[in-house]
Amino acid sequence: MPGDAGRANLTSSPANGPRTSRLAACLAGLVRRGRRALRGITGMPDYEAYLEHLRCSHPERPVPSPAEFFELYLESRYGGGTGRCC
Amino acid sequence: MRTLVWILIALAGAAGWAMLALARGETVSAAWLVVAAVGTYLIAYRFYSRIIARDIFGLNNRRATPAERFNNGRDFVPTNRWVLFGHHFAAISGAGPLIGPVLAAQFGYLPGTIWIVAGVVLGGAVQDFIVLIGSMRRDGKSLGQMAKEEINPFAGMAAMVAIFAIMIILLAVLALVVVNALRDSPWGLFTIACTVPIALLMGFWMKVWRPGSVGTASLAGAVLLGLALVGGRYVAVSPVLAPLFTWSGPAIAYALIGYGFVASVLPVWMLLCPRDYLSTFMKIGTVVLLGVTVLLVLPPLKLPPLTPFIDGTGPVFAGKLFPFAFITIACGAVSGFHSLVASGTTPKMVRQEEDARLIGYGGMLMESFVAVMAMCAAAILDPGVYFAINVPLARLGGSAAAAAETIRGWGFTVTPEQMHELARAVGESTLLGRTGGAPSLAVGMATLFSGAFGQHLLALWYHFAIMFEALFILTTVDTGTRVGRFMLQELGGHLWAPLGRTSWYPSIVLTSALVVAGWGYFLVQGVLDPLGGINSLWPLFGISNQLLASVALCVGTTLILKTGRTRYLWVTLLPLAWLLTVTLTASWQKVFSADPALGFLAHARQVADRIGAGAIEPGTGLRLIFNDRLDAALALLFMLVVVLVVGSSAREWILVLRKKKPATSREAPFVETAYAG
């Protein structure tokens, strides 16, 4: 869930810190969510989201390197032959 | 209060249609086209899609989706619905909804617009939505699997054959559009040629040098693409480089065939995946830009609402308004191809069942809106200019002066100077007879963009539009070739097991070569055709696409039947009946019409007579005759497949309705979601 991670990060930022750092954290959260949305729309791989998924659902499994994850992604996106429309 | 808002939306939509229909003699603003379309979409989404979502299928957010149950962080991923809306839209949209309306504009803007809007709300969006629901409730099964399991194995097999045949014709006709846009155009060819090294660079970057850094690589790719676009201008005027990038139609065709083969054989990360990203950026960016510009400029429509060509004498393509306006529009109203995406990646990403309404039905409404904007872009051109670009040179009379004369004969005016000036302004040697829709769409878009952002950039915008169309058509060509290869490998695996191993190199090379040879043959045939090829191939493509939609609607009808809500069967039977009428009439006319401009067999007879009279060289003539017969055979094959699928589905429906057969649905059992409300 691209949106939820950003939100979680927002709430974990220092709530009683100086105003500017709160603003910076808020902006960083927005940028992160925007990037995730863009990745989702264009179908690009999302390494961070995959790590999050592993942490939540399969904490016992080894964590893949970015290169290994990219292999997995290519296989699931193009392995069966995804078409683009006319 | 809410009721009031919906009444206002309905009234605005009705006013839009009234303005379009009643305007006579004066030009209408594109604003009315947009108001009519958007008003209709909103009403249809709010009221009609709700019937499908609630009353027929009972979409329920308490029911866990495949994305939730099989979440693997890769292809099964619960995705925010607006993100998935964008993702689904990017996967279904392509060149079809842009080019179909431009070609159909030969009948005037009204018939095309009515079908784009009415066809989508009652047909196209219904098809996409129901197939998405069906697949989502069956763990993400494909259309072919659903046809096999829900109807019968024969229907499943027929659907596979239909998909493969459509793929071949689709790739040929789209490649032909690119050839017609790039031949004798050094600027366009240079820009598109540059995308290959750019994609290779991106591929090595994200796979070898900086594994996984896709974002940075793509950003660099987009910047380089911009440089290639601007650089094209200098190539076009350079006495050394311009001849190097000025290629004839057949040369570009063979290059595309070679490219398709290489892209299918190479590992995906090298060429195919990076190009996929580039074309997705371009697609989304340009569609947004086009929408904003049309709304900003709200140009007057110069094309008449109806032209005399509705009687079937049209020079862009042959055939009367019925059935050919509906065949030509193709993807903007109903596209069978979408059922492959709606039963492919998308159903595995839907987070909650009710999201499917926005994604399936809403995504297709968006696609239709793109088609409406393409119609605007064509309709803002002077009708004389529109015909000078879209009619084959042979039909125009060969020269600019003759073309002006021919077009005057049709009742529109254009001067040779006007065409020359326009070609110079967009940085081309000539625009006469550049068939295929892409160049006239690019002129329309460039006129719009430069109207909004400054007149002096016309040439840059024109080549931007050409690059955008060519780029994502080529992405369809390379991914399509790969999909065709997988299908052939699966089929071949039944004959000889090693052929079915998707990573065995001899099998990859053999099946890729077969697929490329298939569409390549039709492409070369189109390029060598003196009437430009679009004339005969685009209707074949439209027919095949609408026939696949008929297959999808047969599956949809079966799905509704199996919910037990038989009083809603008309929701899919209505568009199915219409599509069958349109496509069977069109294929019949394409094969058997006595008019040589329309019927393949009549054209073959005409060529035979001309060989007899010595007016045409026997070698060329025999090739034309063979191609006519091949096209006729293909149209007959399409008819046969669809009649068989509809027939065998209808048999199932009757058996179930008469209770001679239980309505067993293969829906996955209900599992309660773990998500909080």
**pLDDT digit string, tens, across residues B278-299:** 999 888 888 888 989 988 888 9
Does the pLDDT of residue A14 top 60, yes or no? no
Nearest Cβ partner of B545 from A65, A72, A86? A86
Does the pLDDT of residue B79 top 90, yes or no? yes
Residues B437-466, mean pLDDT to the nearest whole number: 90
Nearest Cβ partner of B71 from A57, A66, A72? A57
Q: How far is B1 from chain A (nearest CA, A)?
A: 32
Residue B78 and residue A86: Cβ atoms within 8 Å?
no
Q: Mind listing the pLDDT tens digit for each residue in B87-112?
A: 999 999 888 899 999 999 999 999 99
Q: Mind listing the pLDDT tens digit for each residue in B537-578?
A: 899 999 999 989 999 999 999 999 999 999 999 999 999 999
Pick the residue from chain A with its C-alpha nearest to B72. Answer: A53
Nearest Cβ partner of A40 from B71, B87, B483? B87
What proportion of chain B, given as a percentage, has pLDDT over 90? 77
Residue B284 and residue A42: Cβ atoms within 8 Å?
yes
Does the pLDDT of residue A21 top 90, yes or no? no
Residue of B80, B85, B12 whose CA lies nearest to B43: B12
Residues B381-405, mean pLDDT to the nearest whole number: 93
What is the band of B45 on the pLDDT scale with cuts at 50, 70, 90? very high
pLDDT at A85: 60
Does the pLDDT of residue A9 top 50, yes or no? no
Pick the residue from chain B with its C-alpha nearest to A50. Answer: B73
Residues 6+ apart with CB under 8 A from B258: none
Mean confidence (pLDDT) of chain B: 92
- Contact assessment for residue B144 and residue B156, using Cβ atoms and an 8 Å cutoff: yes
What is the band of B143 on the pLDDT scale with cuts at 50, 70, 90? very high
Residues B460-466, mean pLDDT to the nearest whole number: 94
Residue A70 and residue B268: Cβ atoms within 8 Å?
no
Nearest Cβ partner of A72 from B74, B83, B280? B74
Query: Cα B496 to the chain's mean position, in Å?
Result: 35
Residue B74 and residue A73: Cβ atoms within 8 Å?
yes
pLDDT at A12: 44
Write the single-letter amino acid at B290.
Answer: L
- A80 contacts on B by Cβ (under 8 Å): 486
Residue of B560, B563, B466 whose CA lies nearest to B182: B466
A62-76, B309-323, B604-618, B629-643: least confident range: A62-76
Question: CA dist B246 to B175, B240, B431, B443, Å?
Answer: 18, 11, 15, 20
Q: Mind listing the pLDDT tens digit for each residue in B187-242?
A: 999 999 999 999 999 999 999 999 888 889 999 999 999 999 999 999 999 999 99
Does the pLDDT of residue A81 top 60, yes or no? no
Provide the number of CB pairs (under 8 Å) joining chain A to chain B.
140
Residue window 114-153, chain B: list those with CB within 8 Å of chain A: none
Higher pLDDT, A12 or B656: B656
Pick the residue from chain A with its C-alpha nearest to B350. Answer: A1
Residues 6+ apart with CB under 8 A from A62: none
B280–A contact, CB cutoff 8 A:
yes
Higher pLDDT, B676 or B661: B661
A40–B contact, CB cutoff 8 A:
yes
- Contact assessment for residue B259 and residue B482, using Cβ atoms and an 8 Å cutoff: no
Nearest Cβ partner of A86 from B77, B78, B476? B476
A85–B contact, CB cutoff 8 A:
yes
Does the pLDDT of residue B588 top 90, yes or no? yes
Residues B474-478, mean pLDDT to the nearest whole number: 90
Q: How far is B88 from chain A (nearest CA, A)?
A: 8
What is the band of A8 on the pLDDT scale with cuts at 50, 70, 90? very low
Residues A47-68, mean pLDDT to the nearest whole number: 89
And the tokens for B428?
């081309």
Residue A84 and residue B83: Cβ atoms within 8 Å?
no
pLDDT at B517: 97
Residue of B460, B120, B468, B145 whose CA lies nearest to B283: B468
Does the pLDDT of residue A3 top 50, yes or no? no
Pick the residue from chain A with its C-alpha nearest to B168. Answer: A86
Residues B135-139, mean pLDDT to the nearest whole number: 95
pLDDT at B342: 94
Does the pLDDT of residue A74 top 60, yes or no? yes
pLDDT at A61: 87
Residue A66 and residue B213: Cβ atoms within 8 Å?
yes
Residue B79: strand pairing partners: B350
B305–A contact, CB cutoff 8 A:
no
Nearest Cβ partner of A44 from B214, B475, B479? B214
B101–A contact, CB cutoff 8 A:
no
* Cis check: omega of the bond before B323, within 30 degrees of 0: yes
What is the band of B245 on the pLDDT scale with cuts at 50, 70, 90? very high
Does the pLDDT of residue A2 top 50, yes or no? no
Q: How far is B244 from chain A (nearest CA, A)?
A: 31
pLDDT at A5: 40
Pick the residue from chain B with its C-alpha nearest to A85. Answer: B92
Q: Mind listing the pLDDT tens digit for each residue in B599-652?
A: 999 999 999 999 999 998 998 899 999 999 999 999 999 999 999 999 999 999
pLDDT at A84: 60
Q: How far is A13 from chain B (nearest CA, A)?
A: 23
Does the pLDDT of residue B534 top 80, yes or no? yes
What is the band of B496 on the pLDDT scale with cuts at 50, 70, 90? confident
pLDDT at B576: 97
Pick the residue from chain B with its C-alpha nearest to A66. Answer: B212
* Cis check: omega of the bond before A64, within 30 degrees of 0: no
Residue B475 and residue A84: Cβ atoms within 8 Å?
yes
Q: Mind listing the pLDDT tens digit for each residue in B5-41?
A: 999 999 999 999 998 888 776 789 999 999 999 999 9
Q: How far is B564 from chain A (nearest CA, A)?
A: 33
Residue window 10-39, chain A: list those with CB within 8 Å of chain B: 35-37, 39
Report d(CA A62, CA B289) in Å as an integer.
44
B77–A contact, CB cutoff 8 A:
yes
Is the predicted ipTM greater than 0.90, yes or no? no
Longest dimension (CA), chain A: 53
Residue window 191-220, chain B: list those with CB within 8 Å of chain A: 206-207, 211-215, 218
Across A18-22, A60-64, B373-377, B474-478, the highest mean pLDDT is recorded for B373-377
Q: Mind listing the pLDDT tens digit for each residue in B144-168?
A: 899 999 999 988 888 888 888 888 9
Pick the residue from chain B with its C-alpha nearest to A43. Answer: B87
Residues 6+ apart with CB under 8 A from B59: B53, B133, B353, B354, B356, B357
DSSP type of residue B533: S
